[in-house]
Structure 1
Amino acid sequence: MQVLVLNSGSSSLKFQLFAMPEETIICAGVVERIGFTDAKFKFKSEHKNVETETKILTHKAALKLVAKHLLDKKEGVLKTAEDIKIVGHRVVHGGMHFNDTVEIDQDVKEKIKSLSSLAPLHNPANLEGIMVAETIFPTAKQVAVFDTAFLQSIPEKAYKFAIPNEFLTEHHIRVYGFHGTSHKYVSEQANKFLGTKESKIITIHLGNGCSMTAIKNGKSIDHSMGFSPLDGLIMGTRSGAIDPSVIFHLKDALGYSMKQINALLNKESGMLGLTGYSDLRDIELKASEGDKNCQLALQMNAYRIKKYIGSYATILNGLDAIVFTAGIGENSSLIRNLVCEDLDFLGITLDENKNNLRSKTIRTINSDTSKVKILVVPTNEELEIAKQSVSLFIN
């Protein structure tokens, strides 16, 4: 069967069309920099390779562009929309409602919408993708795969906040964690590469959104994001961890409304707030040209990651490997170098020559003397979503 997977990020839409269960990729692509006039569109199949720059301001417009190329009469890969049997959607926040993959109905859509305030850059885009896909592929089964599902194994001592108990029991305020589909996929690939299931791994997902997970024997035990995808590492436009008192100060002393604060921390902070750029490629270029703000932002970014590595190595009581993945983690040798320098106390030493090589396959970039493996593992959230979507109807 043909399964279309849609992975909506905060500023991107990745897509892959699979023949399942063979796991053969029929076509794949991405729309990057959604919301900008110079958005980038890539589409690749056996007979078609498109790379273009155009104005794409919304996720809805991005999905319509993808569908146009899928169904193109001359060079498309589908004869009709009915060829698609399943559309698998990445959904970021499942809250307490979802701890597994589900077929989408009206109730599921309403619950995804109700959680939008907890993932304002993601759940609305995920829901919009679902609703547009329902109109373009009306005969397909629509399936939601939740980022939060893999992180349900985090123990209570790690997911509970130190606030009165009723906020957890009555209002479900707790750490949920995100990027779980990616963390699950790359940790499983890392374990296969290492030849073991008994491992202590830290997975580092670095894209426009960034997160880290401590994983012991295949189960997540802690995660850098929290109640929403705002917490933890410095991200493209999100602040990451911040003293809650800053919010009170912004409101009471500086006159910001709660709506303005929400926009500030989610859309105007992070690398964008520090440098004026949200794309790390732009920041690295400006840093190389001597831009002090960009140089400092890169150092801050790596410093925050290093803090989590130290913390997670402690709770894991040891470390077998750290795994870099996602757009930045897989492609930025500079960030990997900044993160790994001066971690020899933990047995982490990088081989700069290996680090500077490019590859689309899993590889080690640690030195021969490093006690801890440093892996670059290309994530494939789309394949993981396809597999989970199909299993919902086969098993």
Structure 2
Amino acid sequence: MSSSVLSLNAGSASLKFALFDHAIARGASGLPTATLRGEIDAPDGKPTLTYSRTGEPSRTEAPNALRGDIGGETTWLIDWLMRACDAPRPTVVAHRIVHGGLRYNQAVRITPGVFADLQDLTSLAPLHQGPGLAGVQAAQAILPDATQVACFDTAFHANHTDAERRYAIPRVWHERGYQRYGFHGLSYDAISRRLPAVLGEQAHGAVVVAHLGGGASLCGMRSLQSVTTTMGFTALDGLVMGTRCGALDPGLVLQWFQHDGMRPEEVSDLLYKQSGLLGVSEISADTRDLLASKDPRSQQAIDVFVASIVRQMGSVVAALGGLDALVFTGGIGTHQPMIRAAVVQRLAWLGLALNAEANANGNLNIASSASRIPVLALPTDEEAVMAAQAAALLTVTAGR
């Protein structure tokens, strides 16, 4: 397939993108190599585009788009790619869509019917679903002849057992789709494809992947397939996150409604946007800011974050029946050695130990010689997985 594929990854805190030419040879992971990739973010409150071509140093640009307006950013980005970068006009656009619900367990062409289905799931992932679909609409408008493909974060967890997927609620609600779905699946898919080249046969054992970023979760894998994960019906569950609460006693939510008289939209805003690291510290949702701060509330927020990872790591290892490897990924997992060290220190009972120098340098293998279990800091590549899924979908479709 020689089409130019643009992957658009609208996250809760940034818009990442990558451009792929499928004529390029694939690496050992079987994933395509991007010719150009980048991210629109606002580290100092000002929108900044950071991008690089293969083999070249990164560059920055000030996009004429409002940070957080994914539709506007997408329009600006595609125009910039073709105008300033002389990039080929994308014939396929692969979109990260966080929630696929019960119906969508693999990549799919976006038709009006599919789009409407995905809109109906917005309440289950309010920080992501709406922005992701806004990116779809913008790409459709500026590239009307391109094939638009949805790639789902929930799909990687679709084969969980009934015991993993089911909540202990009346069966009628389970059958209506009130189930555990899990998220960050594109990231876990990317790691699963890379692990055999790094770990050999050990990659097929009991592996826990910690995707730590603005959103955070754990995934327990066996035979490179998801067995369990810490997120559930929505992307609120599980680990403490940047602005999200993580696991919470549902009685607390009832108390806010019944005793404090809060409205649903107030509770939603509190749980999704005011909690997590930001809520505990009252300073920042960014671990970089918190680690640099001398305010005791910053350390308290970090401690709560690490404690949530350690607590749920024990649960995931129990579900797997053991541990053969631990992998850190995501923005924090890949770039924050202090967080990795704090987590591993509290998991020493599992036989884990870090090489301090390798950890500080961000090496791929950060375990010490005393560690009974490999510990890796392995970058993910959601955009490459999206391009590969889109290519596979269109190849199958063309063969029918």
* TM-score, length basis structure 2: 0.92
Aligned pair partner of 1:88 in 94, 98, 104 = 94
Aligned pair partner of 1:281 in 284, 288, 291 = 288
Aligned pair partner of 1:29 in 29, 38, 49 = 38
How far 1:57 sits from its partner (Å)? 3.8
How far 1:252 sits from its partner (Å)? 1.7
Q: Does 1:65 align with 2:71?
A: no
Q: Does 1:227 align with 2:233?
A: yes
Aligned pair partner of 1:42 in 47, 50, 60 = 50
Instruction: Give CA-to-partner distance per residue, 1:131-174, whole Å, 9 cap, x none.
Output: 000011111100001000010121110110011111111x1100
Paired position in structure 1 for 2:357: 353
Q: 2:324–2:373: 8 Å Cα contact kept in structure 1? A: yes
Aligned partner of residue 346 in structure 2, secondary structure: coil
The code of the aligned residue for 1:95 comes to: G
Instruction: Give CA-to-partner distance per residue, 1:365-393, whole Å, 9 cap, x none.
Output: 01112111101111000001000101111
Q: Does 1:383 align with 2:384?
A: yes
How far 1:105 sits from its partner (Å)? 0.3
How far 1:326 sits from its partner (Å)? 0.9
Q: Does 1:128 align with 2:134?
A: yes
The code of the aligned residue for 1:2 comes to: S
Q: Identify the structure with the greater strand proportion.
A: 1
Counterparts of 1:90 and 1:271, CA distance in 2: 25
Q: Any stretches of 5+ residues in structure 2 without a counterpart?
A: 25-31
Distance 1:348 1:94, change over 3 A: same
Q: Any stretches of 5+ residues in structure 1 without a counterpart?
A: none
Alignment of 1:321-332 (within 5 A): 321-332=325-336
Alignment of 1:204-219 (within 5 A): 204-219=210-225
Counterparts of 1:5 and 1:65, CA distance in 2: 15
Identity of aligned residues (%): 33
Paired position in structure 2 for 1:183: 188
Q: Alpha carbon RMSD of aligned pairs, Å?
A: 1.7
Counterparts of 1:230 and 1:140, CA distance in 2: 34
Aligned pair partner of 2:150 in 144, 150, 153 = 144
Distance 1:344 1:37, change over 3 A: closer
Alignment of 1:216-255 (within 5 A): 216-255=222-261
Distance 1:49 1:350, change over 3 A: closer
Q: 1:224–1:233: 8 Å Cα contact kept in structure 2? A: yes
Aligned partner of residue 153 in structure 1, secondary structure: coil
Counterparts of 2:218 and 2:23, CA distance in 1: 30
* TM-score, length basis structure 1: 0.93
How far 1:44 sits from its partner (Å)? 2.2
Aligned partner of residue 255 in structure 1, secondary structure: coil
Paired position in structure 1 for 2:317: 313
Aligned partner of residue 84 in structure 1, secondary structure: coil
How far 1:111 sits from its partner (Å)? 0.8
Instruction: Give CA-to-partner distance per residue, 1:79-116, whole Å, 9 cap, x none.
Output: 5xxx2110000100001010111011001110110000
Counterparts of 1:49 and 1:218, CA distance in 2: 33
Counterparts of 2:244 and 2:347, CA distance in 1: 26
